[in-house]
Amino acid sequence: MNEITLTINGRQITASVEPRMLLADFLRERIGAKSVHLGCEHGVCGACTILLNGQTARACIALAVECDGAQITTLEGLRDDPVMDALCRGFHTEHGLQCGYCTPGMLITAHDHLRRKADITPEGIRHAFSSNICRCTGYAGIVRAVCKAADTLASESTISAQETPHGN
Ligand code: FES
Ligand code: FES
What are the structural domains, with CATH classification, of the chain? 2-77 (3.10.20.30), 80-167 (1.10.150.120)
Distance 44 CA to ligand 1 centre (A): 5
Give the model's pLDDT for residue 157: 78
> Which helix or strand (DSSP H or E) is residue 5 part of?
strand 2-8
Residues sharing a CB contact under 8 Å with residue 113, sequence separation 6 or more, in sequence order: 120, 124, 125, 128, 146
Percent of the chain topping pLDDT 90: 91
Ligand nearest to the CA of 38: 1
The answer on pLDDT for 150 being more than 60 is yes
Ligand 2 pocket test: pick from 98, 132, 142 the residue with the most ligand atoms within 8 Å of its Cβ: 98
Secondary structure of residue 4 in the 3-state scheme: strand
Percent of the chain topping pLDDT 70: 94
